[in-house]
Each structure stands twice: as structure tokens, then as C-alpha cells.
Amino acid sequence: MRRILLAEPEKGGLAATWSDGTTSFWPAIWLRDQCACPVCRHPNGQRLFEIGDLPEHPQIGRVTLQGGSVEVVWQGEEHTSVYPPDFLYDSNLKTRQTPPIKLWGADLAALPEADWSQLERDPFEELAWLVSYHLHGFGLLRNVPARPGMVAEVGDRLGFVRTTNYGRLFDVVSEPDPNNLANTALGLGVHSDNPYRDPTPGVQLLHCLISDAPGGDSILVDGFAAAEQLREWAPEQFDLLTRVPATFRFADKDTDLQARTPLISVDTEGRICAIHFNNRSFAGIEGPVDVVESWYEAYRNFAQTLKQPERELVFRLAPGDLLVMQNERALHGRTAFDPNLGRRHLQGCYVDKDGLESRMRLLRRHIAKARQAAQ
Ligand SMILES: [Fe+2]
Ligand SMILES: [Zn+2]
């Protein structure tokens, strides 16, 4: 149990000492903005004021501990705010949490997997699988009934299926006159799907319905791990791939989709947050002429890094297996197969990343509530 032992105004904010001896500090403007009183927030939690309604420099007056919570009376306003210790702890600006991730390669000891019927029944199973999926950027579901359309049902349970020009779901089978190389029997190098969309699909689901053709094994590569390696080996090349956008395009008789994005995206703190890599739909770059050659060098290097055998997880999907991949991290491909000696039929769909994050938080909340009720 985390308790606050002492809370007092400090220059420009509030300082607190926790029962474990650590200290925290929150700037006054941040605290004032977080006030959760009925004047500041609707019962649904949404904020009722705008930033311009707050004093520019809120002044903390009296601070007291009330049943473990910190009560702040604001000077110059008739306003009192109460901050529960858990809220203060979770939103401690110094220990702000970023979702942990685990980089992997071919030697990943065990696939993050779960049995579908167990996951459907047991919120703990579902939460454990979602946590593992978020760590690794992909997860496998076993024994999902191998019937057409099931992939979209799973997509709607985990998030919200996004309809595209390929429909609500799409078939991956070998076709005589395909508009996409996915629908041939050719091997495919690892890639992210549809970087020609804005936004790029966040999550792809692929469900195996039939797999009795020789070949057609699945390949997965951790794009974040490969990009980290490039950053270590050739920082200037890494940098170039984060700064110069590439254009991706898909066109057929009904569509002309184009989007511009760097091959490697980093967030405001420099952490890798997305990879867009797809040689089939790469259209070109529009950077200044003098960077083109070095950009291509970096592109080639990154492609080789992605191809290292020690990065490749290779496994065979059996009917009923359903792969859920963060499309901008876990790059996927396949080996060639022989359509004359058997059939291979997958169905896929796209959902947004935030749907699965929401699902994970919701399960955490339900489980915490159930625990409290049981106590
Ligand atoms: Fe694909
Ligand atoms: Zn308030």
C-alpha cells in the first residue's frame, strides 16, 4: 500500500514524501488542471473547463492530508481539490510509465499464444495474452474455429474491424490474375501491410483456414529490433530513414491510394514507434537530390538487417491458428508454396491498435473490481 506521509507547497507546486521514503513533485498548473471536483469534471470524467479558464499561475494555499488523499485549497480562487494517492502515484510526472516492450529474434523461446476457447471464457487468460501481445508486438491464437468470417468476429472482440477497399475482411489465396502479389504462390519478404494508407492499419489479423500445400510457412521479424540494430551500427543512416519520407502507392481499377511516411518513425523521446517497409508498394522518395544516394544506402542496409536469419521466426500456421500482429512492428512474410500440390487459404482483416489497448485496460479494471469485491 502506497501512502503519502507528508505533502506541502513547494516553489511552484506540491511536494510529497511517500511511505517508502521517495519524494515527488507536481507543478501547480498541472495539479490545478487535473482537479476532479464536480465543478471541473462531468460525472463521466470529461473536463468541463478550457485551459483559458484557469489562472495562469495557480497558487497553492493550504495543503492537508484527508484520509490519505491530499487536499489543496487554491489561493485567490474559491476552489478546493482532492487528489487520491493512487492518482498521484500513477500520474507522477517523474515516473511516467511507458508501455514496456521486449525485442525478440529467431531465438524467442516461446510464441506468445493462447487457446481461443480458454481466452473467451477467462478474463485472466485474455489479459495475459494481451499483455504478451503488447510486449512482443504479436500474438497467436490457437483453435479459433476455422470457418470463413471468423477472423472479423475475433477482430471485433479485440477492437473494431476497419473496412478498406479490400472489404471488411480479405482472402489470401493463390489467384490466376491477382491485383496483389499476396494472392499468388510466390514467397513474400517481410513487410508491413498497406503503408499506402493514411493511417496505416495498426493491427493485422490473419486466420488460417486451410494449409495443405507444401511450403507457405510464415515468417515474422521484429522491425523495432532491426531498427535498433541499424541505429547502433549506422546512426546517420538510421537518422536519415526517420527524416526523409517515402511514398507508398497501391493502384488498381478502383483505387489509387498513396501515403507518405518515413521507413522508421520515432516518438518525441526518440523511441522507435513505427516501421513502414514494403518493397512491393514502395513508390519513391521526394527528399532533396543530394540525400537520395545516401538514403538508398540506408534503405538497402535496413533491408539487409531485416533479412538476417537470426531475426526470422519461421513457423507454420495450421487451420485454426490466428496471428495478430502490430503491423508497424512485427513485419510478416511467407515462403513460396506449390498450389498444384495442395491448398492454402487464409483470411485477414485490420483493426486499430488502440482497440486492443482499450481492451487490455478494461480487463485490468474489471479484474481489479472483482478482486476488491471479493475482499
Ligand atoms: Fe501482408
Ligand atoms: Zn475543481
Quote the pLDDT of residue 195. 98
- How far does CA 26 lie from the centroid of its chain? 29
Span from the CA of 78 to the centroid of ligand 2 (angstroms): 10
Beta bridge partners of 8: 15
Residue of 131, 152, 154 lying closest to 141 (CA atoms): 154
Q: What is the dihedral of CA 300, 301, 304, 310, to 10 degrees?
A: -160
Locate cell 498444384: which residue? 340
N-terminal to C-terminal alpha carbon distance within the chain: 15
Q: Are residues 182 and 172 in contact, defined by beta-carbon separation less than 8 angstroms?
A: yes
Quick check: 247 and 299 in contact, CB under 8 A?
Answer: no
Estimate the share of the chain in helix, then strand, then coil, as percent rounded to the nearest 5.
30, 30, 40
- What are the helix (H) ranges across the chain? 28-33, 85-90, 116-121, 123-136, 150-158, 223-233, 235-243, 289-307, 353-374
What is the CA(303)–ligand 2 centre distance, in A? Answer: 53
Ligand nearest to the CA of 38: 2
Residue 164 is placed in which grid cell?
478498406
**How many angstroms separate the alpha carbon of residue 206 from the centre of ligand 1?**
9
**Whole-angstrom Cα distance, residue 370 to residue 367?**
5
CB 319 within 8 A of CB 210: yes
List pLDDT tens digits, range 38-85: 999 999 999 999 999 999 999 999 999 999 999 999 999 999 999 999
Ligand 2 centroid vs 81 CA: distance in angstroms?
A: 6
85 φ/ψ angles, rounded to the nearest 5 degrees:
-60, -35
Give the model's pLDDT for residue 375: 82
What pLDDT was estimated at residue 95? 47
Q: What is the pLDDT of residue 372?
A: 87
Q: Is 363 helix (H, G, I), strand (E, B) or coil?
A: helix
Query: 3-class DSSP state for residue 272?
Result: strand
Q: Is 42 helix (H, G, I), strand (E, B) or coil?
A: coil
Question: What pLDDT does 91 receive?
Answer: 73
The whole-number pLDDT of residue 98 equals 62
Determine the distance separating the centroid of ligand 2 and the alpha carbon of 4, expressed in angstroms. Answer: 21
How far is ligand 2, taken at its centre, from the CA of residue 79, in Å?
6
User: How many angstroms is it from 332 CA to the middle of ligand 1?
Assistant: 6
| Per-residue tens of pLDDT for the chain, all 375 residues | 679 999 999 999 999 988 888 888 999 999 999 999 999 999 999 999 999 999 999 999 999 999 999 999 999 999 999 999 989 987 756 544 566 899 999 999 999 999 999 999 999 999 999 999 999 999 999 999 999 999 999 999 999 999 999 999 999 998 888 888 889 999 999 999 999 999 999 999 999 999 999 999 999 999 999 999 999 999 999 999 999 999 999 999 999 999 999 999 999 889 999 999 999 999 999 878 999 999 999 999 999 999 999 999 999 999 999 999 999 999 999 999 999 999 999 999 999 999 999 999 999 999 989 988 988
Contacts of 300 (CB under 8 A, 6+ apart): none
Which set of grid coordinates corresponds to residue 34?
A: 487535473
Pairing outcome for strands 313-315 and 218-222: antiparallel
**What residues have their beta carbon closer than 5 A to ion ligand 1?**
193
- Residue of 281, 295, 334, 320 whose CA lies nearest to 150: 320
Instruction: Judge contact between 337 and 97, C-beta under 8 A.
Output: no
* 84 alpha carbon – ligand 2 mean position (Å): 14
What torsion do the CA atoms of 285, 289, 291, 297 make, to the nearest 10 degrees? 60
Tell me how far apart the 2 most distant CA atoms of the chain are, in Å. Answer: 81
| Bridge partner residues of 284 (DSSP) | 247
Q: How far is the CA of 333 from the centre of ligand 1 (A)?
A: 7
Q: How does DSSP assign 48-113, residue by residue?
A: -S-GGGS-SS-EEEEEEEETTEEEEEEETTTEEEEE-HHHHHHT-GGG----------TT-SS--E
Residue 272 half-sphere exposure toward CB, CA atoms < 13 A: 26
The owner of cell 470529461 is 46
